[in-house]
Amino acid sequence: KNQVEQSPQSLIILEGKNCTLQCNYTVSPFSNLRWYKQDTGRGPVSLTIMTFSENTKSNGRYTATLDADTKQSSLHITASQLSDSASYICVVSSASGGSYIPTFGRGTSLIVHP
Amino acid sequence: GAGVSQSPRYKVAKRGQDVALRCDPISGHVSLFWYQQALGQGPEFLTYFQNEAQLDKSGLPSDRFFAERPEGSVSTLKIQRTQQEDSAVYLCASSLAVAGLDYEQYFGPGTRLTVT
């Protein structure tokens, strides 16, 4: 069964600090990996997408890495802001029969304190 | 432009009632997904449409769940005889899919269903 595991489950940091969120997956066949940000009461919004051949992707203060050999990804947030408080979800898509069914992790809940 | 919209945003149902949740995807988006998100969990795939065709419904938890997209745009997720374990946020996402290629999914705000 395809699975995506994220750690830590929750994280509290001070404004201005950096943090790194982890994602391990067992999804086959692998198509791509996305990191989403989900604010409370809202739908997820995509931050980054990486395919098999990519090992790093940046979007402003967000940098995602992918190690396809170890099936691990990380999301690094630099100089955190209060607005970064949200759930960060790792999603791995598997290609099967022409459709791409995503498997979602449970998310890491990040709280940024002033 | 307008994003994905869902209605109602909140729904309270008594156990045993039927509910219908609506999703209006982004105009022109071919693919539409429904997900169920329990409190503190990530979204779980329910079903997937490409235009009006329901290509995958493997995630629907029981035969009480039914989804349709008759004209290839608006979709409705219907839950019959609701149970307490159906309480969750139901998310809809749409994408401009091209056959054989992966795509970005755009999510709606979700409908929070509470079954009492």
Q: In the A/B pair of chains, how many CB contacts fall below 8 A? A: 51
CB-CB under 8 Å, A102 with B45 = yes
CB-CB under 8 Å, A95 with B102 = yes
Predicted pLDDT at A39: 94
Predicted pLDDT at A102: 84
Indicate if the pLDDT at residue A95 is higher than 80.
no
Indicate if the pLDDT at residue B100 is higher than 80.
no
Geometric angle at alpha carbon B65, from B100 and B69, rounded to 5°: 50
Contact residues, chain B, for A46 at CB < 8 Å = 104-105
* Residues of B at the A interface, defined by Cβ within 8 angstroms: 4, 35, 40-45, 48, 50, 55-56, 91, 93, 99-100, 102-105, 107-110
Predicted pLDDT at B56: 87
Predicted confidence (pLDDT) per residue in A43-81, tens digit: 999 999 898 888 999 999 999 999 999 999 999 999 999
Q: What is the mean pLDDT of residues B52-58?
A: 91
- Report d(CA A77, CA A58) in Å as an integer: 10
CB-nearest to A31 from B48, B56, B102 is B102
* Signed CA dihedral, B65, B71, B75, B81: sign only: negative
Contact residues, chain A, for B93 at CB < 8 Å = 43
**A95 touching B, CB under 8 A?**
yes
Average pLDDT, chain A: 92
B25: which DSSP letter?
P
User: Which is nearest to B13 in space by CA: B88, B110, B95?
Assistant: B88
* Most A CBs within 10 Å, among B34, B37, B50, B51, to test the A interface: B37
CB-CB under 8 Å, B103 with A100 = yes
CB-nearest to A44 from B50, B100, B107 is B107
Contact residues, chain B, for A50 at CB < 8 Å = none
* Signed CA dihedral, A66, A9, B62, B23: sign only: negative
CA atoms within 13 Å, Cβ hemisphere of A32: 18
Predicted pLDDT at A101: 76
Spell out the residues 6+ positions from residue B94 whose beta carbon is closer than 8 angstroms to its own.
Answer: B4, B23, B25, B26, B29, B31, B32, B33, B105, B106
CB-CB under 8 Å, A32 with B99 = no
Could you tell me if B68 and B4 are in contact, meaning their C-beta atoms sit under 8 angstroms apart? no
